[in-house]
Structures are given as C-alpha cells and as structure tokens.
Structure 1
C-alpha cells in the first residue's frame, strides 16, 4: 500500500511545475528566499522564510519540493567536480526553509543530515588546488576527480536512507513527508541515470 502510494505521489510531484533555481540570479521567486543574500538572519546563511505558525501546509511542502528538484538540476550546470558542494547547499537551503516550523521538524532534520553527509564528502575529498567557482551569489568548492564515483555512491546512499526515514515519519504529516521523499527519489533517479554513461559522465 505504501509502495503504491509512493509511486502515485512520485508521479504527481514530478508533474508539478518547477521554478528556476536561485543560482541563476541569487533569487528564487517561488520560495521568497535570497540565497546568501542580505535578507537572511541565520548564521548558516539560509533564510527560513515564513512557516505558517508551525503548521503543515501545501505551500511549504511545494516550496521545498521545488527547491530540491530544480536545485539539484541547477547544480548540473556546473562542472562535475563542483556539483557535490552545490548539492549540499541545496539540501541546506531546503532544511533552512523548514527551520522554526515544528510540524516539519523531522523533515528538517532528515534534510539536514543529507546536507551534512555531502559536506563531509566535500571536506574529505576537496581539491584544494582548484579555485572555487561562482554561480549567481553562491561559491562552490571542487572535489578531486578521482573521488567522483565514491561521492556519487555516498550521495545516493544518503538519499535512500533519507527517503526511508521520511516515509517512516509520515504519520501525522498526511502525504507531505511522502511527497518530499518523492522529490529525493527524483534526485536519486537523476543521479543514477548518469551512472549509465560512466566513465564518460560522472
């Protein structure tokens, strides 16, 4: 039953219109967030936005889904060695959008754990000889080219674990956690599709 519902909600979530990720111009009009801009007050650089007084809402869920799907696709505009820092920042932003909203606390923790996993991957494999690159208002660090296959494997594993945790924590959240899990599954499928072209594309 859960499997059927997950597949159905995945199809619905992929049909949702996506917005251009904020790295193009530093601003995502759908979520009203400025990435590393002057409007955020948190020390991490992410602005939490408005969270409807700590309630589950379609608007909040849709905004997070759009950040996750269009954000990861936006990262693929970068050279492959810079993408994992970009992915981590996407997940950090998505978690930041849920900050302060108790109804989404479990989802925020799970997304933050994905961001931390990516941060560890980048720190462990950073190519310190490569310059940082900028897209929009964001800067990204490179990892070593020889670390790309393992970085992808680790990211996919983190996504799979996060999906499972979101589905298990969906009680009381309606279909909202399931829909966020579907967005993670979309990211995972996008990454796995690139594996078909290894070693030419990583």
Structure 2
C-alpha cells in the first residue's frame, strides 16, 4: 500500500508543539494558551473568531454564526445580506475543527467576498489559493498562527476537486508564499 506523509520540519513542529495563543471568547482582546489546539467549545467561540477576522477584512457580520442544515455541505459559507454577512458552518466541522483553523477558514471566505471572485462554486484552484493567501493575511493580522494551521491542513486526508484543487498542494503553496519551509516525506507500505 502506498502512503504519503506530509510533515513540517522538526523546528517548526517544535515551535508549534507548545502552547499557542488563541482568543478567549469570553473576553475579547485577551489571549489564553491552548496547548491541545482543541475544537471550539461551541458556536459562540467560532462566532468570536469570525468577528475578529471580519473586522480585519472590513466585513460586518449580521447575527451570530449558525449551523448549516446540510451535514455534508461546505465547512463554512458566507451569505451577503443587507444587514451584513450571515455565516453558516457545517455542524460536524463545528465540533471538530480547531479554533485557530477557523480563523483561516473565515479569512478565506471573506477574501472571496472582498475581492468578488469564485462565488457559488464557480472557482478554480488558483482562485482558491489566492483566497487562502489573502485570508491567511486577515487571520494573521487578527492574531492567529499560520504554522499550526498549515500543520492542521497537512494532517487532513488528501482531498482534491476540480474547483478547489488539492488541499495539500494549497498548504504547500501557502507555506511557500509566506516563506514557511515544509518537508515532504513519501513512504510506501
């Protein structure tokens, strides 16, 4: 059986193995350390992350983050309304994705809105990568960490589609753009 293992260099793993700051949802502006890179405690924490990233992107959120009724739908979607952006998140993703990763996911989605490209599934891998890079800029400005996010992306099962491209390729391209070295080790079993 062939397997592909994607790893960040040991130095980078060591730098993100310790506690990384994540925003404390109960107290905006205060950071707490979260060594487990744990999923959100609830939608209220995801909502807090979305608002921080939205502020950097110059977006206004209408209401609070809601769960989508489609369990097999996208991880997150943003609908523009006259009162601001309405954010829906996949219920399973809400339970599993780490808070730090949510910042980059929302940044990606806000980049689509701000730069008006790739709406309603009409995207290509280059547009998705562009949204990744712009969105990562929003998330980093809001105080979230890129290396743990890249590590999380590379830990996901390889996933590819004609509209979004390969997830691992996008992670490596983001790392290249932000000058974060990555190492790829291929093992065959």
Greater strand percent: which structure? 2
Q: Which has the higher contact order (CA 8 A, sep 6+)?
A: 2
Greater helix percent: which structure? 1
